[in-house]
Structure 1
Amino acid sequence: MKATAARLLPSQMALEVQVPLRVANPSGLVRPPVYSVDGGPFVPLVQTRYIGGEPVETALLDSVESQANRQEALLYRHLPLPDVQVELFDGRRVSQYEAPGRILDAIFREATFGGVPFYQTPLFQAIARGGEEAERTLFRHSPLTLVYGGWLSYGDIPPEVAPKWPRLVALEILGLEPREAHRTSSRLDPLGVPGELPLPEAMSQALKEQGKRGRLSEAGLGRIPPTASPMDVAVKGAVLVGAVSLVGFRNLRLPQKAQEVLLALALLGLALQHKEGYRLRSGADLVPEGNGCLTVRALPSGEEVCLEVEPLREELDWLLGELPEELRWSGEPVVLQANETLNQLYRNALLGKAERAKAKREKEG
């Protein structure tokens, strides 16, 4: 049946997501992110999870945080969301939907609006006070913070009482029954230059001025012997798995129509990802199995719900039109100006390696 946020929100507790995915590489080889556990080496994260009620060894292919960022980016690309942006000295603008912490990211702390630090503006102060006022303000200016979570982790507010909004969409992609696979690297130099050959003095000095050690490999020259490291996995299959908390949406201190808007956004983010594809990174392309419809299960009823982009987009447009005037989204972004500290950090980031190394030497000298 077609999904509607208005129908699901009042009667169900959660949406269970379990979508089978096939690795595009027929050998099952896939490149996962790597993690350091307790300071150890960076390796794929292998752990046991329950899939279909049975314990299964899995490798993490895409984390909860990464999934939230992917769906958020798709919504930002396809919808006229209300936005808050920071403009840097060269005219570049950074949207809240590109920042890890959204409107609560530290980038926005280092910005001003009309010459006033952002954290002193009425908009920010309304969020910082928490409660219903904060949620109404976030709905109008940063709705995806209410969907994917946010935490005011800076400023004078103690962390114990700082406003927090838990994520209401928690999904990840797991590779099933992983087997260790090695990532290889090598370089055959057509000039026959051995990798251990000393560099000419001028080339060595130029590399050292860039903060390097002056080795041949740093210049992209010489032969690199074939090496292999256990950084990849081969998996039997993969699955997008997790849940959408309908109870969490209902607990927001917002009118029901606004809650339905947020749920429609969450469902549309899922449907857009399913339609556009699961390319996680180089060497990690996954293909949905089935008829193209992303099917989730409503709990506790157990009924299956089909998520499709166009019906969800149409419902979202209708719900937005039903909102009271005080909750309507603005069509124009709120544009903040980066302060001098943030601009200086950005300038430093734009400098080449040689300039940064030179500046470092001058400071130390």
Structure 2
Amino acid sequence: MDGYWVTAKGLQVRDIYERLLAAASLRSNDGAIRVSAEYEPIGGAGDTLFPPTVKIKEKETEGAGYLVEPRYVGGEKVEVVWLDQPQSQANRCEQALMDAIRDGSAYLPHLMLVTESAGIPVRTTNLQAPHRSRDAYFRDAEDAAGAAFDMTEPGRALRQASSEDWSAYLRLVPSDLAYGVWDSHRKRRIQVKIPRAYKSAMIGVAPLIGVRGAGRVDPLNLAGDTVQVSGSSWTPIEGTKAPKGAKTARMSELGHGMIPPSEGLGGVSVRSVQREASLAMAQLASLRFGDADEEFSAAARALVAAIALLGDRLAFASPALRLRSGCDLVLVSERVQWVQRGRDGRPQEEPLAVNTVQEALALFEIASERARAAGLEWSAEPVELKPNASLQQAIDKSFLADGVGQAEGE
């Protein structure tokens, strides 16, 4: 029976691939794939969650706060608080894909910047850099021979790509086609811009904003006096005033002394936590690959779709999710669905049986095989680069201890 189940499952995934192949080129009624999920705090419904803090303008002053906005949820106008924005959700998917590459469960071509500083290995990839393959880290990188990355064959190919031919991105950094990229770090009149095909976001519905008292207790009850700071050391000030021109700081700024409790942001309590993700077939269908034939183009679009689905499942299929400290969640329910052309005033939805990481991996493998059969060539190794002298110097500086830092929150 196990062998029959595996065979049946394999056939089912191949059927899903064929449907995805047609959808990604808009050759069917499927217009999108949508994931709708509901979570609750690990402490139970209504427990406090901590959204990301941002600087907000309120009454002409700036301070820390949460992003709250009105929205229609289930046809009802309510306030929602952002728990995780699309950029952050995409980063979670990309990190999950990078983890899969490292553990050998999947492989995607990528750029890798490799160096070390202060004896510590340092590396980043286009799956981790803020601007993906177009990030300044790669603009300021070079190959083993010392050639600037933009002047190498892979660098030129990415720089010269356009909306008529994204084949270089497909060959070198295919995840960029799923999550979008903007080449804002290179001065050009016409910049590379690839809209995201995959989007995900998490909100808390009807937030009640909480408060908490934030302070510090010093076990030795050191006085919170002003001290003189010099480089990486500090000394108490003799007398009542510091010498003229001396750099000073409060003890609390250096991590010592008492800080009386004061009111601070205390998280939120929400009616529900919702995640909505989508994969846009219209964006996938807009991807062009130069003079490649339709078989290659269709297989390439389906492969990008499979990468997006794999990233989503790797990042979000687990029963629990940590967004940040104080924002741990458990999955309550989830629907992965095809969204089709509407009928009777409503879009039609059908279940899509790609719920687990294993199913997404199987779909990705089929998509990869079909793309290779259509003519796609992927290198088995990443494009490895090193920082140029200026970037290396900046990296080295970031690893040096230089003076006394300021305590968090001061």
TM-score by length of 1: 0.87
Rate the CA distance shift 1:30–1:153 in 2: closer, same or farther, 3 A.
Answer: same
Residue in 1 that maps onto 2:269: 234
Partner of 1:111: 141
Structure with a larger share of its residues in helix: 1
Taking the aligned partners of 2:188 and 2:229, their CA distance within structure 1 comes to 55
Q: Which has the higher strand share?
A: 2
How many Å separate the matches in 2 of 1:155 and 1:198?
46
Map 1:24-43 onto structure 2 (within 5 A).
Answer: 24-26=42-44, 27-38=46-57, 40-43=62-65
> Does residue 1:52 correspond to 2:81, yes or no?
no
Q: How does 1:270-289 map to 2 (within 5 A)?
A: 270-276=312-318, 277-289=320-332
- Mark the runs of 5 or more structure 1 residues left unpaired by the alignment: 358-365
Report the CA distance between 1:222 and its aligned residue.
2.0
The 3-state SS of whatever aligns with 2:196 is coil
Note if 1:66 corresponds to 2:114.
no
In structure 2, C-alpha distance between the alignment counterparts of 1:216 and 1:85, rounded to whole Å = 42
**Between Structure 1 and Structure 2, whose CA radius of gyration is higher?**
2
Q: How much has 1:320 moved relative to structure 2? A: 1.1
| SS of 2:390 mapped into structure 1 | helix
Cα contact 2:114–2:384 (8 A) shared by 1: yes
The farther-off stretch of 348-357 and 162-171 is: 348-357
1: CA distance between counterparts of 2:176 and 2:165? 11
The 8 Å contact of residues 36 and 43 in structure 1, kept in 2 or not, is answered as yes
What are structure 2's unaligned runs of at least 5 residues? 1-8, 101-105, 290-296, 342-347
> What's 2:19 paired with?
7
Matching residue within 260, 282, 306 for 1:225: 260
Residues 316 and 242 (structure 1 numbering): CA distance in 2 closer, same or farther, change over 3 Å?
Answer: closer
SS at match of 1:32: coil
Q: 1:246 aligns with which of 269, 281, 288?
A: 281
Percent identity between the two aligned chains: 28
From the superposition, tell whether residues 190 and 128 of structure 1 become closer, same or farther in structure 2 (CA, over 3 Å).
closer
Pair 1:224–1:260, CA change in 2 (3 A): same
Higher alpha-carbon deviation: 232-241 or 143-152: 232-241
Partner of 2:317: helix, strand, or coil? helix
Give the drift of 1:150: 0.3
User: Do the aligned residues in 1 keep the contact of 2:204 with 2:272 (CA within 8 Å)?
Assistant: yes
| Among candidates 192, 197, 218, match of residue 221 of structure 2 | 192
Matched AA of 2:47:
G
Contact persistence 1:23–1:284 (CA under 8 A): yes
Does the CA-based 8 Å contact 1:127-1:134 persist in structure 2?
no
Q: 238-247 or 299-308, which moves further after superposition?
A: 299-308
1:268 aligns with 2:286: no
Out of 352, 358, 369, the residue aligned to residue 310 of structure 1 is 358
Task: Tell me the SS of whatever aligns to 1:97.
Answer: coil
2:110 corresponds to which letter in structure 1? Answer: D
The question of whether the paired residues in 1 share the 8 Å contact of 2:227 and 2:248 is answered with no
SS of structure 2 residue aligned to 1:228: strand
| RMSD value, Cα | 2.8
Q: Distance in 2 between matches of 1:297 and 1:318?
A: 19
TM-score scaled by structure 2? 0.78
Q: Aligned equivalents of 2:160 and 2:236: distance in 1?
A: 54
